[in-house]
Structure 1
């Protein structure tokens, strides 16, 4: 039995989560919800009879649907596990169960069993990638040009590259690619840790799917009965 003089050791607290979300997804979701609520509430207040019921069914369907695909997605990472909150599922993956983090036309995590899960909160932007690649190419070209001019001016020593030749106009990596880089570093450092082992768990978000299904069924019934 533990006595006050010899208290039992307490486990280290779980590390704080790093949270990754899509700013553009949140902005788009808020805008869509504002338009939906404006039109839906207007129809409820000013409509009559069947119009009000259709507006109610549409709100029950659209509001949780838009929220699920824009506001809800998030990725939480700490030293023990990666938690992915997708529109209709929550996936918890200990680092020891992750085989790779892939980034091509979408960002996804691959488990050691071969199962793939998409990271909805970290969407790939091909435009941002191309923009970052152009900045990298311009910076490299400016550095080579500055070194060449410096070599001519400084007797071949390569000094004197003018600062204005270097493009410092923005990042040379797309933001979502930086997120994947961060997650890969965590995976590399934590996949063998004892506290980062365990089983993969997947939970369906019934609290989100339920209202969507209810709104869809009500809307279909109203349209069917005319």
Structure 2
């Protein structure tokens, strides 16, 4: 996962994909998010569970513990290390789902510049990515230390021969279990290690190279593409 994605649907579209009947505490807004080419430290919408309620917030992509402020913020963490890594110990219990529409990867195809690809689900449903982080809740107002990291897994040789790591994504049923505070940490670890969605759930397309320009945030970066061979 290279650190570029799209999150353009609205909070309520993503809630519908999760199929969670709980009442929603929505700090993410009601309008479409319209993030077509987001990169760290963008504020992304995420879901976490607060008691019996599902809560949506906009939180910075990237996090580091208070004792490591001299280090760069992490934007992702390896699934096989995150549960027992001291760097992430403080946020490991704080599970979240980041719903996205697609993400991007860059491939060296022998040309002067790498070719960007858009990756999305074949059924066009939102991609429900696992994450952990520090974010607002009833007893914690938003502050400058809030942030999150994606959980990423070895993509078994590289998704479409592009990249060694991909976000750990879950079915709606498993996403609900992941979010549930009553889910034991041992079960949460099992979900992220063994039950993430396979490569076969996704498809990929070449997209225009202007997506590489982080200042290009228009919908055109995902509208003009070619189906890969």
Q: Answer with 1 or 2: which has the greater Rg.
A: 1
Taking structure 2 as the reference length, what is the TM-score of the superposition?
0.22
Taking structure 1 as the reference length, what is the TM-score of the superposition?
0.22
Larger proportion of helix: 1
